[in-house]
């Protein structure tokens, strides 16, 4: 499915917060303090990008296995995870949306059902991708989301997960948007990993484009979402040392799309992050490392925290 080729708003249209955040990301790409790119370098842009976000399926024969030497942080029940504490983010609500669902593969009829995404109709959800060794994107997204949740709760935020492996499939992409809206979230981040061609490496953050169609109206969230996404991109780079994508988005790792129901139907600031390419062997080594996943979670949490603190 083709990805949206619309370009981000020009700098003069950005409010001061968003412009400052984007400037910080650009500086981060050249400043030693923001962390270096992977030591093997990155290839040029590919003509065969796979769009991320609402996702696609991928088969998996062989490759690096997940690093199981360090377990993910303990995962309390979703109700317990909702309880905020004291800290600098006290009073803030964050929704973390772990992409896909480990059991989607068992419910293909249900997830193939078409839903309204504002600019058309798409599948309710997909199975997501995996590494060649079979480490599923849905497992990766839950692990990273748990880590982000724990980091934000330690700062006093109320954190809601759209799913915690506690439902048979989904939720559908339109329901994922409604969960963030109903929570009155100050920020929503959907966690993913891409499934593109070998040689395509790095992370990218997907921002909502300007959409006014049917149930979708992103006019009020485009700019704050850009600010949120720019902060996450810069701090993800600093925490992980991974470079922005060499095949999707701009040099700071930002991409704009209008075809994702999770963004189109959101009424609160929301972005997607594709943390890397599961089908590239070098990125797969990172994505299957528990230590790297903790760094990824730290970068995402730092970006959210910086956005919420202004």
* DSSP annotation string for 91-111: T-EEEEEE-S-TTGGG-HHHH
Kindly state the tokens that stand for 42. Answer: 């990155």
Q: Which residues are catalytic?
A: 274
Give dist(CA 146, CA 213) in Å, integer.
34
Strand partners, 116: 121
Contact assessment for residue 207 and residue 218, using Cβ atoms and an 8 Å cutoff? no
Q: Do 190 and 97 touch, CB atoms closer than 8 A?
A: yes
With b meaning 16 or more CB within 10 Å and e meaning fewer, what string describes 125-163? bbbbbbbbbebbbbbbbbbbbbbbbbbbbebebbbbbbb
């Amino acid at each position: 499915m083709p990805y949206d080729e619309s370009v981000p708003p020009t700098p003069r249209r950005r409010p001061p917060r968003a412009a400052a955040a984007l400037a910080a990301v650009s500086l981060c790409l050249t400043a030693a303090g923001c962390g270096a790119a992977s030591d093997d370098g990155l290839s040029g842009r590919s003509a065969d990008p796979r769009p991320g976000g609402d996702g696609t399926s991928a088969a998996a024969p062989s490759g690096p296995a997940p690093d199981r030497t360090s377990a993910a942080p303990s995962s309390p029940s979703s109700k317990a995870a909702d309880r905020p504490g004291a800290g600098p983010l006290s009073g803030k609500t964050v929704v973390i949306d772990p992409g896909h669902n480990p059991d989607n593969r068992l419910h293909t009829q249900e997830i193939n059902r078409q839903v309204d995404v504002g600019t058309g109709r798409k599948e309710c959800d997909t199975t997501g991708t995996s590494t060649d060794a079979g480490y599923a994107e849905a497992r990766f997204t839950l692990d990273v989301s748990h880590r982000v949740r724990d980091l934000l709760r330690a700062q006093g935020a109320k954190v809601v997960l759209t799913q915690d492996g506690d439902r048979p499939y989904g939720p559908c992409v339109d329901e994922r948007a409604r969960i963030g809206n109903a929570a009155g979230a100050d920020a929503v981040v959907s966690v993913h990993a891409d499934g593109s061609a070998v040689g395509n490496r790095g992370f990218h953050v997907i921002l909502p484009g300007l959409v006014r169609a049917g149930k979708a109206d992103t006019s009020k969230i485009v700019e704050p979402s850009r600010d949120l996404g720019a902060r996450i991109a810069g701090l993800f780079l600093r925490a992980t040392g991974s470079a922005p994508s060499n095949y999707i988005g701009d040099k700071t790792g930002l991409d704009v799309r209008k075809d994702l129901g999770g963004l189109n139907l959101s009424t609160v600031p929301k972005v997607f992050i594709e943390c890397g390419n599961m089908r590239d062997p070098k990125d797969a080594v990172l994505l299957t490392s528990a230590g790297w996943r903790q760094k990824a979670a730290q970068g995402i949490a730092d970006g959210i925290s910086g956005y919420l603190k202004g």
